[in-house]
Amino acid sequence: MKGCLSPDRIFLYLEGQVAPGERRACEEHLGRCPDCRAAFEERRLLHEAFSSLPPLEVPPNFARSVMAGIPENAGTVWRRIAAVAAAALALASGLLGFHLLTGKNLAGVLLSPSRALGAGLGDLLPLLAKVLKSAGLALELLYGLLSSLAGGLGALSSVARPEFAALMLGLGLVLTGLLLFGAKKLLSVGERS
């Protein structure tokens, strides 16, 4: 029938949340339409059944008992994710620092590390001499880096498998090599000027 009552309108009618004029219109429609009357009766029975239920009471120690049921190793997953995220952030920071120090394109460096390593090996001794000249700054930087690395490796070793830790250590060594060769380029540019 045209103008039938929607389930929402029947619900509002049962809850007494319709205006008096609309209430009369619903009652008139229910008197004429057997489909809406059947839907109304069905919803009325459900409404009465739900209304007669006692209120749900949560036991006082409910949250504590739920938390006690969670296995303890569930937190290690988040620690592993945090360690991987920290390693990725450290790698990204190192690559960005390398790019800022050397001005080299990161894509070119990442795609051809053998070329960068081969070019830098010939000038390793002058690079070491230049590094010794700036030992004060390098020692401060190295101390901060090593203390951060030691803390990160400690956290990483407590949550990661040995293969993953070895992979991160290898990536760190490659990144350190790239940073050293980038510093060589930066220092050699300073000599020419």
**Stronger pLDDT, 137 or 55, i.e. the higher one:** 55
Residue 28, exposed/middle/buried by CB under 10 A (0-12, 13-18, 19+)?
A: exposed
Instruction: Answer yes or no: do 92 and 187 share one domain.
Output: yes
Instruction: Answer yes or no: do 109 and 146 share one domain.
Output: yes
**In-domain check, residue 66:** no
**29 neighbors 3 (Cβ within 8 angstroms):** yes
Return the residue matching tokens 């010794």: 132
Report pLDDT for 171.
Answer: 81
* SS3 state of residue 91: helix
Report pLDDT for 13.
Answer: 87
Instruction: Answer yes or no: do 81 and 174 share one domain.
Output: yes
Domain that holds residue 46: 7-51
Angstrom distance (rounded) from CA 127 to CA 137: 15
pLDDT tens digits along 74-115 = 567 777 888 888 888 888 888 777 777 777 766 665 656 556
Report pLDDT for 75.
Answer: 61
* Token pair recorded at residue 155: 């956290």
Mean pLDDT of all residues in 60-84? 78
Return the residue matching tokens 């949340």: 17
pTM: 0.30
Instruction: Answer yes or no: do 85 and 177 share one domain.
Output: yes
Angstrom distance (rounded) from CA 34 to CA 114: 83
Helices and strands per DSSP (H, E), number in the chain:
10, 0
Instruction: Answer yes or no: do 33 and 87 share one domain.
Output: no
Q: How many domains does the chain have?
A: 2
Q: Is the pLDDT of residue 161 over 80?
A: no
**In-domain check, residue 1:** no
Instruction: Answer yes or no: do 130 and 171 share one domain.
Output: yes
Report pLDDT for 48.
Answer: 84
Instruction: Answer yes or no: do 43 and 116 share one domain.
Output: no
**In-domain check, residue 56:** no
Instruction: Answer yes or no: do 91 and 159 share one domain.
Output: yes
Instruction: Answer yes or no: do 46 and 106 share one domain.
Output: no
Instruction: Answer yes or no: do 79 and 154 share one domain.
Output: yes
Instruction: Answer yes or no: do 178 and 85 share one domain.
Output: yes
